[in-house]
Amino acid sequence: MREIPDLTNVKIESQPKILFAAFPTRIRNGESTIGAIAFADFEDDVNLIRITYRAEESSLAGGVLALTLQELPIPSPYGEGLKAIKFDLKVGCAESLTFEATVIANDKAGHESEPFSFKFTCEA
């Protein structure tokens, strides 16, 4: 699991910001893996988080996971505007592959976060 960054000095703005992804660096072929995305938004109106992932070694393996925030996000102990949402990802790989995932958050006002990327390896 990745280390959680220091969130005490996060500047919360109208544009959503992805703060970090809590996801293992290694997952197993076909097994369901739980992760979380932490984000900040001044108006607290993020309604969609997209996670796009693609294998670095292949143009064929990849996918998109869209998380609609109809469920209540996990409240943050760091204060208003800081939230996290859990997700469940299952990736199939016939051989060990390294994936790059990109996360983008959208809010109700149409603001979009800067892309946030992280990598993980699917082990066959």
pTM for the model stands at 0.83
Q: How far is CA 2 from CA 21, 23, 95, 120, in A?
A: 8, 7, 23, 10
Where are the chain's structural domains? 17-123
Percentage above 90 pLDDT, the chain: 40
Output the pLDDT for position 57: 75
Count Cα neighbours of 97 within 13 Å in the Cβ-side half-sphere. 20
17-123, CATH topology level = Immunoglobulin-like (2.60.40)
Instruction: Evaluate if residue 65 carries a pLDDT over 70.
Output: no
